[in-house]
């Protein structure tokens, strides 16, 4: 479970260039819910993720993770509770380390007490998890990650982020840099991990089709604020055209990225 209470984030505070990237934003995401997050460039989506992960400090408000105020915790401390996959397939892995070493490193976060204590047993568990990807990576454990394709690296990054079942999984346009086939594969793995592990997930996407189809809830952001929050039957009945129309109403003019989203 994660809750943001009256959260504000400022860029260049105390200067003539001060700007509010997040404005008095409040949201609660219960355990096991999958939220799709949309909005134009500069709406504050990635900044919101940075505030949750601890990459930026809020000017006001609180970040509550599993009932505890983590607002002032450093990023490395929050990494025990927050999993994150970024857009760049290379960003979530160490390219000069082996596939096995990457996953072993990820396994040390969070609830280590649940992992086997003996190295051989741990290696068997890691190979089993790699096999879940369906890419044959369990047979390439000793290869450096730099030898993997972009889709394979992003699938590995997703597994690493979800491995210890974090309190919240942040997916920041994690399929945007992939070709359509690999994007579909990684999205199917996302469904499997989020649903199978019972994860709380927040997914930023510029793909309106994915936003309408995936998740239990859809949140639209504009200029650092939540301007639409749809779930239940409202979310199930969404169409791409309906989303674009809603965004146009919110902004008061045409969505600049409509052509890309609908292509």
Q: How far apart are CA 17 and CA 11, in angstroms?
A: 8
Whether residue 176 lies inside any domain: the answer is: yes
Q: Which of 251, 204, 224, 250 is nearest to 19 (CA)?
A: 224
Token look-up 């949140």 returns 219
Question: What pairs with residue 202 in β-bridges?
Answer: 35, 170
Q: How far apart are CA 183 and CA 177, in angstroms?
A: 8
Whether residue 128 lies inside any domain: the answer is: no
Question: What pairs with residue 256 in β-bridges?
Answer: none
Reading the block at residue 137, the tokens are 């990576």
DSSP 95-115: TTSBHHHHHHHHHTSS-GGGS
Q: How far apart are CA 178 and CA 89, in angstroms?
A: 8
Please state the pTM of the whole predicted model.
Answer: 0.91
CB 238 within 8 A of CB 208: no
DSSP 198-214: T--EEEE-S-HHHHHHS
pLDDT of residue 2: 97
DSSP letter, residue 178: S
DSSP 127-155: HHHHHTTSSSGGG-TTSBGGGS-HHHHHH
CATH number for the domain that contains residue 63: 3.40.50.300
Using DSSP bridges, classify how beta strands 34-38 and 217-222 pair: parallel, antiparallel or unpaired. Answer: parallel
Q: How far is CA 125 from the centre of its chain?
A: 24
Q: Which of 41, 37, 86, 88 is nearest to 257 (CA)?
A: 41
Q: What are the tens digits of pLDDT across the range 2-39?
A: 999 999 999 999 999 999 999 999 999 999 999 999 99
Whether residue 215 lies inside any domain: the answer is: yes
Q: What are the tens digits of pLDDT across the range 104-157?
A: 989 887 654 455 556 788 889 999 999 999 999 999 999 999 999 999 999 999
Give how many domains the chain has, as a whole number.
Answer: 1
Mean pLDDT of 60-83: 95
Structural domain containing residue 62 = 2-94+149-262
Whether residue 169 lies inside any domain: the answer is: yes
Q: Which of 192, 240, 241, 233 is nearest to 216 (CA)?
A: 233
């Amino acid at each position: 479970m994660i809750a943001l209470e009256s959260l504000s984030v400022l860029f260049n505070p105390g200067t003539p260039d001060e700007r509010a990237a997040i404005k008095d934003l409040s949201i609660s995401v219960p355990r096991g819910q999958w939220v799709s997050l949309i909005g134009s460039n500069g709406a504050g989506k990635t900044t919101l993720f940075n505030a949750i992960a601890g990459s930026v400090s809020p000017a006001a408000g609180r970040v509550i993770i599993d009932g505890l105020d983590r607002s002032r915790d450093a990023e490395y401390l929050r990494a025990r509770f927050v999993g994150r996959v970024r857009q760049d397939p290379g960003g979530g892995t160490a390219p000069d380390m082996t596939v096995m070493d990457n996953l072993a490193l990820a396994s040390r976060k969070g609830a280590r007490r649940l992992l086997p204590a003996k190295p051989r047993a741990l290696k068997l568990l890691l190979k089993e998890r790699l096999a879940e990807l369906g890419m044959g990576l369990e047979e390439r454990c000793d290869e450096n990650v730099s030898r993997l394709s972009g889709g394979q690296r992003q699938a590995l990054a997703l597994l690493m982020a979800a491995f210890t079942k974090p309190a919240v999984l942040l997916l920041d346009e994690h399929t945007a840099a992939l070709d359509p086939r690999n994007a579909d594969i990684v999205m199917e793995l996302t469904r499997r991990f989020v649903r199978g592990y019972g994860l709380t997930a927040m997914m930023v996407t510029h793909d309106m089709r994915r936003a309408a189809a995936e998740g239990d809830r859809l949140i639209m952001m504009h200029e650092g604020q939540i301007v639409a929050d749809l779930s239940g039957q409202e979310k199930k009945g969404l169409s791409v055209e309906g989303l674009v129309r809603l965004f146009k109403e919110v902004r008061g003019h045409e969505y600049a990225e409509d052509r890309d989203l609908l292509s």
